[in-house]
Amino acid sequence: MTASSAAGARRRWRQPSVLPGFGLTFGLSLGWLTLIVLIPLATIFLKSAGMGWDQFVAVGLSDRALAAYRLSFGTAAAAGLVNALFGLLVAWVLVRYTFPGQKIIGAIVDLPFALPTAVAGIALTALYSPNGWVGRFLDPLGIKVAFTPIGITVALVFIGLPFVVRSVEPVLADLGNDVEEAAATLGATRLQTFSRVIFPAIAPALLTGFALAFARGVGEYGSVIFISGNMPGRTEIAPLLIVTQLEQYNYDGATAIATVMMLVSFAILLALNVVQAAGRHRYGA
């Protein structure tokens, strides 16, 4: 490692360090990132840009595509909300209470991360189809889950749950008992303490968890296509529409839909980030 004068130019960009290997590791990671992620992703936008506007609109904003976006974003949002509620509950119970089997429950929360999506898809279909394990009890009540948007939401709840639990859990665990005790000494009820002290502290993490679950839900494919029924205009999700276009060798159409999906996803994630950054700024955390 040569010091002061030798690497003047590079030094101005990054702060010098005695640890070696920056050039190698940074170069390797940036090169690999560019090759595997950035260039391939750029092709989507380049191809979209190369398409005429009319052509883009014809598939990308067709009625069928619009219905698919509505379905994908709608069910992902619904599942995200369910997960925000129950994910918070699960995290709370795991962090705050003790009960037998807690460790196992804590481990099983990660199941959706580990279970291949196609496996989850066929399993959920086996449960919720009209003659399935659960579906046969719901069917006589007139409740249809499989092959409806409810089924899609169920699949997305499965996929998204760990995102919320794992985002909220550490924040809840780090939240010192002292603020709650302070609230209690000041005469707050338990509910007031929760809504005015605890909830604001964990809200950013909850929002992060929601955003992650939502983003995953919008793009989810494997766990949904089995349970959704795939009826165009009704239960056809946007990722499936891309696959359909591809199978018809309509690459432009597939690209247009992918572009719209990605732009909307990024816009929503960006908005959520802005909300969070504003919150951070305000609380100085």
Site for another protein in 88-127 (CB under 8 A): 89-90, 92-94, 96-97, 99, 103, 105-120, 122-124, 126-127
Q: Are 84 and 209 in contact (CB under 8 A)?
A: yes
Q: Which of residues 130-149 bind another protein (CB under 8 A)?
A: 133-134
Structure letter (DSSP) for residue 17: -
Residues 76-95 touching another protein, rule: CB under 8 A, are 86, 89-90, 92-94
Q: Which residues have a Cβ under 8 Å from the Cβ of 229 and sit 6 or more positions away? A: 146, 147, 148, 151, 235
For 144-175, give one letter per residue: b (16+ CB within 10 A) or e: bbbbbbbbbbbbbbbbbbbbbbbbbbebbeeb
Q: What is the DSSP letter of 140?
A: G
Sole window of 58-66, 161-169, 201-209, 277-285 interacting with another protein (rule: CB under 8 A):
161-169
- 74 part of the interface to another protein, by CB under 8 A: no
Of the pair 266, 283, the CB lying nearest another protein is at 266
Q: What is the nearest approach in angstroms of another protein to the Cβ of residue 18?
A: 5
Q: Which is nearer to another protein, 150 or 238 (CB)?
A: 238
Encoded amino acid at 33, one letter: L
The answer to the question of residue 263 lying near another protein (CB under 8 A) is no
Minimum Å distance from CB 63 to another protein? 21
Tokens of 101: 């089997």
Among the listed residues 108, 122, 80, 123, the one whose alpha carbon sits nearest the alpha carbon of residue 216: 80
Q: How many helices (H) and strands (E) does the chain have?
A: 16, 0
Binding letters toward another protein, positions 220-239, x by CB under 8 A = xxx---x-----------xx
Q: Least distance (Å) from another protein to the CB of residue 57? A: 19
Chain centroid offset of residue 199 CA: 21
Does 282 bind another protein (CB under 8 A)? Our answer is no
Binding mask 16-45 for another protein (x = CB under 8 A): xxxxxxx-xxx-xxx-xx--xxxxxx-xx-
Q: Binding of another protein at residue 199 (CB under 8 A)?
A: no
Query: At 248, phi and psi to the nearest 5?
Result: -95, 15
